Amino acid sequence: MVSGLLKNRNSNEMKKYTFKIKRFDPEIDRQPHWEEFVLEMEDSDRILDGLIKIKDDVDGSLTFRRSCAHGICGSCAMKINGQNRLACQTLMKDLSARNKSAHTAGVAVIIEPLPALEVVKDLVVDMEPFFGMNEKVLPYLINNDPPPERERLQDPKDQKKILQAITCIMCGSCTSACPSYWADKKYLGPSALLKAARFIFDTRDRAFDERLRAVTHTHGLWRCHSIYNCVEVCPKEIDITAYISKLKRAALKKSLRLK
Amino acid sequence: MIHSFDAVIIGSGLAGLRAAVEVSRQGSVAVLTKLYPTRSHSTAAQGGIGAALGNEEPDRPEWHFYDTAKGGDFLGDQDAIEVMCEDAIRTIIELEHLGVPFSRTPEGKIAQRKFGGHTREFGSAPVRRACYSADRTGHAIMFALFEQCGRQGVQFFKEFHVIDIAIEKNRCTGVIALEILTGEIHLFTAEAVLVASGGYGKVFKTTSNAHASTGDCLGILADKGIPLEDMEFFQFHPTGLYGLGILITEGARGEGGILLNGKGERFMEHYAPTIKDLAPRDMVSRAIITEIREGRGIDGRDYVHLDLTKVDKRIIEERLPEISTFCRIYMGIDPSMAPIPVLPTAHYAMGGIPTDIDGRVLKNEIGDAIEGLFAAGECACVSVHGANRLGCNSLLDTVVFGRRAGIAICDILNKTGRGSVSKESVDRAREAIDTMLRRKGSEKAAVIRKALQQAMMDKCSEFRTENELLSLTEALKGLRERTLEIGLKDKGKRFNTELLEALELNHLISLGELIAHSALQRTESRGAHTREDFPDRDDMNWLKHTLAFKTDKGPVFGYKEVRITRFRPAERKY
């Protein structure tokens, strides 16, 4: 019944876009190559809608991850017009008309897999190294005090310290955009450091020393040179660099105290 | 490749993870997910998880029990509802101790807000019962449980797509799955298998559900003759973003948002005078569609407004940041400045795999169990939600019954030993995939899927009639035949998502058929199931659960009585 009533959300006209997609299927291809698809899209359509349109109507072999389609599951991070973004959270109208060129029909939408991670197929990359880093920072609450009968109290002001950090969706945009990670693949990277901060600054946690040790080694937080790429690309607008800076200050304080 | 575990859990949403936390204390556990673990759709749950903590005002588990029974239009099994509501407080405290960052009251306790259908003193006024972490409650709980699983050595098989669940001689012995990365078939044998694979909203066109919510395991079990319970009850959430179906949490109304029609009227006052905009979802969704049908949509069009402009801006920023972002990104709207265009969106399946209160899968009307097979979460039907689920009861359901299934699994470990799976089953799974890859048909799975979603939306959403349902079942037959002509462009083994979508489609059609036929045979209106040709609830004939058995000749029905322990069915008024 409802859909009988459903019309288009906007009566926007369709515009022409050229999706230029970097493709690579290791079963067939020796190296990546570009393919172009011209689509009619509305301003309010998502990049993900375009990819699905291509897969459904033109080329079923186009491969990408997707699930929730509204920016909370973190599946569809990819490089769109030069910047890591979620395909489901980027609308056609967000793309600059500057990408218009004489060689393509309409506005160009250039899509590549996330950088710095091995390509599995087309836009799918190997996320294992990324998730693996997370496991190195003890990503769980540690508090061996006997738990109270009810909840552990936490002042809302204290919770503010981790409020942004807990919104991370592990999409991988930040770490794969980080030049320090490009240079050192053992570097924990912004996402894992953010996770460390999420627990270090959680007033309910009791493993401060252990946690700092897990992030202050050669491939830890001092690799961060405050380049801010992570902040620029984070789809949840988390100020990751600020969290890492706070970690650095906490680590410094601790080392001075020890001396 | 062959793997052997004490228990295999299918699905890494909240039910699966909570069960894994429990079982991994006693045995080896594999969790299979067709996504990455933190990507499961539980993460999209926004508004809250219900428990009568009484942190903000007096509350009691028995009021919660009453609200849940009444919200479900008295189709829920009350022994199960009581278990859930009584266990709710312990559950929330346990989650908090695991690290879930719940939002806090000024004195540092877990904050609570109002939610649809949750009342104090048996319906007298809305109560603050939903515990929340801003409007990212599912995400917050998901990470805490996932991280706990890692700590306890649960082994995750990421991006494994389940092809078959092996049941031989009334005993579940394992799972056959496709490793998406390599295209290889893996066999998992286990003493117990828990299906926690989530919902199947993708059977409808407009839905809040993720692309992955295709109900594969329900389709697999239906093919094996296991009945699916109460499939006619599918919830449409009142406030989906217009044109997109993305969920706007009921918490928005819990924090003071109201629904307005084209005349600027707060129309819920007419439909539910006592609790108004916080009526249960089935009632609010029907009210919205009725307003639109009678010409009172915004500008006479097909949507209404969710108005948050009178809500304190600070509250919106602190407690509803995620939906504010959605509104900004997808609609170009700041909800503190302008009303949000909304329309109901297919949201939650009350029906599913029949289980007892410990997650054991039941195969018939008299409640015989299949040994070693368990289900929990949205894919299961305990039934606590009856004919209509209340908001913030789904997260509670996943964690309470995920844990209970985990405990029940621990009880049977090392009793029977791990079973074996016949070579034929594995060969059959491989053959099914190879056939799909070889076939040279001209149909596309995506085209058939869209036709299915459109037909379900047009003929089987909030309001249903015999004529439309009959034409739907005919249409579904046609779609099923067309699937035999599907040809894939991608013939590769590696990360072949086109193949997966074709496999998913078969199950989606099965679920569409079971929903449609279940809706057709239930000649009454109850909860989320509204038959325009049978507008009244009919307790004489229909106070019973539907069990739909899939057969070659179409669905066959059986029935199970509703367990009523405390609250006699009464007319549902709010």
The CATH code of the domain that includes A26 is: 3.10.20.30
Digit-coded pLDDT (tens) for A89-109: 999 988 865 555 656 677 899
At residue A97, the pLDDT reads 58
Q: Report the residue from B109, B210, B343 with minimal CB separation from A73.
A: B210
A250 and A140 within one domain: yes
- Angstrom distance (rounded) from CA B548 to CA B379: 15
At residue A102, the pLDDT reads 58
User: Is 50 exceeded by the pLDDT of residue B518?
Assistant: yes
* Cβ contact B93–A89 (<8 Å): no
A68 and A20 within one domain: yes
Q: Which domain holds residue A172?
A: 128-258
A220 and A102 within one domain: no
> Domains in chain A: how many in total?
2
Share of chain A above pLDDT 70, in %: 91
Task: Kindly state the average pLDDT of the residues A69-84.
Answer: 97
A119 and A9 within one domain: yes
Digit-coded pLDDT (tens) for B14-69: 999 999 999 999 999 999 999 999 999 999 999 999 999 999 999 999 999 999 99
CATH number at residue A165: 1.10.1060.10
A167 and A60 within one domain: no
- Angstrom distance (rounded) from CA B286 to CA A178: 49
Query: Which residue in chain A has the smallest CA separation from B244?
Result: A9
B540 three-state secondary structure: helix
C-beta separation of A100 from A106 below 8 A: yes
Using the 3D structure, point to which of A110, A125, A140 is the last residue of a domain. A125
State the smallest CA–CA distance between residue A137 and chain B in angstroms: 11
What sign does the dihedral A136-A139-A143-A144 (CA atoms) show?
negative
- Angstrom distance (rounded) from CA A7 to CA B301: 9
How many alpha carbons fall within 13 Å on the CB side of residue B527? 36
At residue A113, the pLDDT reads 98
A145 and A94 within one domain: no
* Cβ contact B458–A169 (<8 Å): no
Per the annotation, the verdict on B281 as an active-site residue is yes
Digit-coded pLDDT (tens) for B415-439: 888 888 999 999 999 999 999 999 9
Mutate to test the interface with A, among B142, B143, B449, B462 (most CBs of A within 10 A): B143
Q: Report the residue from A89, A127, A159 with minimal CB separation from B104.
A: A159
- Angstrom distance (rounded) from CA A171 to CA A191: 9
Task: Kindly state the average pLDDT of the residues B357-386.
Answer: 97
Catalytic residue among B39, B281, B389, B403: B281
- Which chain A residues have a beta carbon less than 8 Å from that of B528? none
- Angstrom distance (rounded) from CA B462 to CA B455: 13
User: Is 50 exceeded by the pLDDT of residue B547?
Assistant: yes
- Which chain A residues have a beta carbon less than 8 Å from that of B205? 3
Query: Which residue in chain A has the smallest CA separation from B42?
Result: A73
State the smallest CA–CA distance between residue B293 and chain A in angstroms: 9
Q: What angle do CA B145, B151, B154 make, to 5 degrees?
A: 80
Amino acid occupying residue B374? F
Using the 3D structure, point to which of A98, A125, A152 is the last residue of a domain. A125
What sign does the dihedral A165-A170-A176-A181 (CA atoms) show?
positive
A144 and A115 within one domain: no
Mean of all residue pLDDT scores within chain B: 97
At residue A170, the pLDDT reads 98
* Cβ contact A166–B302 (<8 Å): no
A204 three-state secondary structure: coil
* Cβ contact A60–B498 (<8 Å): yes
**ipTM score for this prediction:** 0.96
Task: Kindly state the average pLDDT of the residues B343-358.
Answer: 98
At residue A47, the pLDDT reads 97
* Cβ contact A166–B325 (<8 Å): no
- Which chain B residues have a beta carbon less than 8 Å from that of A210? none
CA torsion B121-B122-B123-B127 (nearest 10°) is 50
* Cβ contact A169–B38 (<8 Å): yes
All domains of chain B in start order, with CATH: 236-347 (3.90.700.10), 425-538 (1.20.58.100)
State the DSSP H helix or E strand holding residue A18, giving kind and residue range, or none if neither: strand A15-23
Using the 3D structure, point to which of A125, A147, A174 is the last residue of a domain. A125
